[in-house]
Every structure is written in structure tokens, then in C-alpha cells.
Chains A and B, each alone.
Chain A
């Protein structure tokens, strides 16, 4: 369940992590953020259920995040 980034940070001097690596594609990162915010903040399904399914998905896919 490694969380070590394989791509360098796009921001000079900043450590490599999800955000700084995704800054290699800033347009994608920006639109992902907008979608992600809407997904979590809006809709009929509660945030509690979304969080439970997110955690379960992470276990199944062996995601370190």
C-alpha cells in the first residue's frame, strides 16, 4: 500500500504529493477539484454513506490514501 509518489512535484521546492504532482496538469486538477467538491457537498446520498463507501473502496483497491 505504497504512497510514495512516482512523479516529481510540478512546484519547485515543494514535496511531491497528490496536489503538487497533479499540478503538471493544472487544468485537470482544477476541474477535478470542482467536481469533487460538488460530489461531496451536494446530492441525495449523505456524506456519511459516501465516506463509508470511499473507505470500503480504498480497502478493496488497497489504496494507501
Chain B
């Protein structure tokens, strides 16, 4: 995964706009700087060598589902399994990560010590920090896209 995967929605498109003079909705001259640095942060998070890319992809898609967003870059079968939380269709590491991903959006305080210990045992300390940071920013990305999406009536 790359930052472009998380920045293709309304927020990413808005942040990528070059500053214009006059009546542009995005006139902050620092937007370009924020865009560059935010994408660099996302690329660092997503470039982890301690967590398999498939784990990150599945977790991002599940968090998108929780927020009511369309899934991307996974099969219909995988999307259905995520939606049904059919954990038996995923590998051990994927199951551990998805269990945490399930809680990040709205139940983050219910991610308990035992769950984090199991994540550490499987992915190591580097991997657990990478994974939990990634989950947080998957949630951030979804919330930003929703914030900048108009609600049609």
C-alpha cells in the first residue's frame, strides 16, 4: 500500500489542490506543505516491513466498511468475509489485526491488554507499533474523507 491508496478520496484531492488566489476554498499557502508531509507520514506507516501488506490492506478495508465506505482492491469474497467477520477465512496474523481494527473506530478503549499482547507476540514490538499506528491512520483517513463529503438530500 501507498499513501495514494488513502488519499484518493475527497480529503486527499482537496489537500492536493495547489493554492490559488481569490475565491478558492483552499487558499492556505501551507496546504502544499501539509499535503507533502502527510503523504510522507502515510508512506512511512504503510511501508512497514514488520507487518505484511495484506494485513494492512485487509484492516484498511474493514475500517472503511465500518465507516460505511466502499471497499477497494480486495475481492468480493474477501469483502464479504470481512463484512461477516468470518475470521476462519483469514490467517492467524490477519485475524489478530482485524480484531484490533474492528475496535479502533468506535471501541478503541475496548482493545484490551491481552489483545495487544497477542499482537506483540505475533508481530513483535516493531510490528505492533506499526500495526496499531496504521489502524489509527486508516481510521483518520476515513473520517477525513467523510468530513469533506457533502451529504446530499
Contact = CB atoms under 8 A, between A and B. Distances in A.
A24 B125 contact: yes
Interface residues of B, number: 25
Nearest to A8: B125
Interface in A1-42: 6-8, 10, 21-22, 24-25, 27-28, 30-32, 34-35, 38-39, 42
B33 A21 contact: no
B120 interface: yes
A35 B41 contact: yes
A27 to B, nearest CB: 5
- SS class of chain B's interface: helix, strand, loop or mixed? helix
B37 A38 contact: yes
Interface residues of A, number: 22
Interface of B: 28, 30, 33-34, 37-38, 40-41, 44-45, 47-48, 50, 108-109, 113, 116-117, 120, 125-126, 128-130, 133
